[in-house]
Amino acid sequence: MTAPGALLRREAVPLLVFLLLAAAPLLGFSHSHELTLMARAMILGIAAVSLSLLVGGAGLVSLGHAASMGFGCYAVVILDAANIVEAAIVVPVAIAAAALFSLVTGAVAIRTSGVHFIMITLAFGQMAYFTAASLAPYGGDDGYTLYARNTVFGRDWLQDRMAFHYVCLGLLVLAWLLCRVLLASRFGRVLRAARENPQRVLAVGFNPYPFRLVAYVIAGAVGGLAGVLLANATEFVAPAYISWQRSGELLFMVILGGVGSLHGAILGALAYVLLEEQLAALTEHWRMIFGPLLILCVLFLRGGLAGLLAPREAARHG
């Protein structure tokens, strides 16, 4: 059994991050732009945490993870067009749609590995992208503007940016806890063992396939939840949300934060969004600076931001 002191030290970084995000609006970061920026970072953090479950936990590098977010977004859009805006209906439908998409595509993709898995997930993601672009009743290529944000039990609490900030934070903590508990369980141990040596796992009586498929579906469901929040944050949904470039951004957030570290994915999302924002304020050609910076981070931050902040723990836990 882990001692409370050791557990606290191991989780010190994520706890500090959550506390800082909770305190930020109370410490002066309460302007509309700042709250919007933090909400976007936390929403992408939820998606990055779910992708980290796949990459770090199961060794499944997906280039189509943004499609699960897209299913969450378009569930909001389709229900909005039908005048259904209650979160108690929208959220379960979005999560179920994203989970079903992940189940169907994962059942095929997980039978492969390595580059083949990457390319199949990319193909499924692009299929979702082109499907969304063809949905003329929901904006097609031009996108769809929501009439309003979802209501919560009939109340428009999500219209308040401060309330929305804490909703995003609460769901980010829940997503992190879910993935953290899964990886610490017997299920997670089988996943990690299969990542290292699938043949040995088979030899001791476990078939890695159903474990990987369940992880893939859970990651997709959490991505669908992030999609609901993203649609509400922007009040606009477009096929670009599903593109392979967005999947690549999520994958980079995981790598930047530290592969194998769930809180590293959150750090990566926060760093990515803040760096993008600062460079865009400096010059319209910010991508010419952003690209080389990302390459340098990959080359020199081998353990990611999580390893930089807690190198001993990163080395001990991989």
The structure tokens 């836990």 sit at: 317
Fill in the DSSP letter of residue 151.
Answer: B
More confident residue, 301 or 171: 171
- For the segment 28-36, the average pLDDT, to the nearest whole number, is 86
In a domain, 248, yes or no: no
pLDDT band at 301 (very low <50, low <70, confident <90, very high): confident
**Cα dihedral 264, 92, 217, 183 in deg (nearest 10):** 40
In a domain, 271, yes or no: no
Least confidently predicted of 105-114, 198-207, 298-307: 298-307
**pLDDT tens sequence across 236-289:** 999 999 988 899 999 989 988 888 789 989 999 999 999 888 888 887 777 788
The structure tokens 């059942």 sit at: 107
In a domain, 18, yes or no: no
In a domain, 315, yes or no: no
Number of structural domains the chain divides into: 1
Most distant CA pair in the chain, distance: 57
Domain hosting residue 67, numbered range = 32-242
In a domain, 269, yes or no: no
Share the mean pLDDT of the chain: 88
Token code pair at residue 56: 């770090």
Token code pair at residue 274: 């803040």
Distance of CA 114 to the CA centre of its chain: 21
In a domain, 233, yes or no: yes
Q: What is the pTM of this model?
A: 0.91
Return d(Cα 168, Cα 30) in angstroms, integer. 15
In a domain, 16, yes or no: no
